[in-house]
Structure 1
Amino acid sequence: MNRRAQIIAAWCGPAICVIFSIGALGLARFIPPEISPTASAAHAQSIMIHGSGRIRVGLTFMLIGMSIMPAWGTVVAAQLRGSEGRFGVLSYIQIASIGVGSALACAGCVVWAAGAYRPGQLSPEFSRYAVDLGWHFFLWAWEPFSVWAIAMGMAILGSGNTVYPRWSAYVCFWTAFLFSAATGLTFLKEGVFAYNGLLTLWMVMSVFFVWIIVTSYLTIRNVQGGRFHTFHDPDAPAGPNPDDEVAVRSRDLPVAPLTNAG
């Protein structure tokens, strides 16, 4: 059962990429964004009105994709947990960061869906505000994802190279660093750092999906190779010695009295 659960969770990584892409690219058309940061409020409202149905369906797919992210991140943390000893701080950091980051990404989808719920009854300014707020949740709040990637990379380097290859730790570190390009979203409305820009949108999302695919492949390989059992904790107190238990039981057995053979 443990092996099956870990395989399913590991395959959630590719599933995230597929489900999210169907929603974001094919239906909601948030990548590339139909509503640019420089669009007028009237244009933003017009897109929300005419595309309300497909936008909400697409956002549903995007929300499902982001919601299964904790399953994928948790199996990676579980794979690395056994190399940390009794107090797996890095594993706990990963799990906490997964929860926060996934919640923020889901919040972005929820805000966009609320903007498309009854767009004809909202002011144009509110429609544009919903779009801007959603991108701030979805891209600008990159920090939990970087903390997650850094904790994963540190755990890989500290595992004695027995869980994931050493180069995958540097993939995590580079991913964490490149996520920071999304910071420009809140300062600029045009150029490579706008929410539809080359660095903030395209590079960050590409790096994110490459990270997921690479880590998923390595995790699936681990589980299929037999790494799904509970790991030995070197810091845990030693259990009872079976030989000692036999000695104790032998000592406690009643001894028959000696008789005089003569």
Structure 2
Amino acid sequence: MSESTHPRRKNRKLDQWIAFWTVPFFFNLFGIVFVPLSWMMPPRSPSSSTPQIVDFMQSHNLLIACAILTLSFGLAPVSNAVYLTQVKRMSVSPAFRYSMMVGSMTGAIVGMLFPMFCFGLGAFRSGYAPSTLEMLYDFGYLAYIGSLGCFCVMWMAFGLAILLDQNNILPKWLGYYTIWQYVTELMAAPVWIAKSGPFAWNGLMTFWFAMVLYVSWQIIVYICIYRAIKRQPDEQLENAWLDSELVSHDPRLRAPA
């Protein structure tokens, strides 16, 4: 088969690398929107005064932040697809992959869309009653911080898949690290009860401790996924399988006898 009749891409992992490098772009954009642009994060206090809440909820920067999130929200599934591609190579049941997929969708809806609509709605129109803005304020932060448990099933499936995998796609220690990390996310549950102290939504344990663990874990997972992609043989790429299928079914692509 000649290159002229069936040209091959030099980098067979190019599509996978494109998806991979969107991940840091998305998380950096996500951080810019939530921190220096809107100052939604670090979380403001649940016991903020009514004037403080009204002033924050009527900020024009919240509308700009929501507009950027609306444009970038679609990159979140791409980052999850990068992980799911490697989980698919593991010698485990597809149930783990489906659990990760559904968990990521649930968490993104509650933890990203809900806060975006709450904070954006508060800033969209002036004249809302302070009590209405207080409700949107509570709703937005409780959805963002209180939804961490939505990701528990997702990361539990990821950690167990790594530990049960016999193909050694990702290191076993990452599986233990993942399970330990997602257990700490259960500390988000008290935000529905505590309005002050370490277990409030801006508390030392509920937010700061969990956030430090999550960010460091996410960086380590990202590095491990990078190494897994680098080690992945071309024969395991689905686009390689597609090429062989095309060759077998299309006589024009077969090499001359």
TM bin (shorter chain) = 0.7 to 0.9
CA distance in 2, matches of 1:229, 1:213: 28
For the 8 Å contact 1:149–1:172, the answer to whether it is kept is yes
Matched, 1:15 2:15: no
Give the number of the structure whose alpha-carbon radius of gyration is greater: 1
For the 8 Å contact 1:11–1:220, the answer to whether it is kept is no
Range 199-208 or range 173-182, more displaced: 199-208
Letter of the 2:124 counterpart: Y
CA distance in 1, matches of 2:119, 2:147: 16
TM-score of the superposed pair, with normalisation by structure 1: 0.78
CA distance in 2, matches of 1:39, 1:167: 42
For the 8 Å contact 1:146–1:179, the answer to whether it is kept is yes
Q: Percent identity?
A: 23
Q: Deviations over 1:27-50 (max 9, x none)?
A: 1101223x421112232112223x
Residues 228 and 89 of structure 1, relative CA distance in 2, 3 Å threshold:
farther
Deviation at 1:149, TM superposition (A): 0.7
Deviation at 1:178, TM superposition (A): 0.7
Match of 1:6 among 16, 32, 52: 16
Letter of the 1:40 counterpart: S
Residues 7 and 231 of structure 1, relative CA distance in 2, 3 Å threshold:
closer
Letter of the 1:173 counterpart: I
Residues 62 and 10 of structure 1, relative CA distance in 2, 3 Å threshold:
same
CA distance in 2, matches of 1:169, 1:36: 34
CA distance in 2, matches of 1:227, 1:102: 32
Deviation at 1:227, TM superposition (A): 4.7
Deviation at 1:104, TM superposition (A): 1.2
Gaps of 5+ in 2: 1-8, 239-257
Match of 1:104 among 85, 102, 110: 110
RMSD: 2.3
Q: Deviations over 1:142-188 (max 9, x none)?
A: 22211111100111011126101111111210121011111111101
TM-score of the superposed pair, with normalisation by structure 2: 0.80
CA distance in 1, matches of 2:230, 2:183: 31
Matched, 1:83 2:83: no
Residues 137 and 29 of structure 1, relative CA distance in 2, 3 Å threshold:
same
Deviation at 1:130, TM superposition (A): 0.7
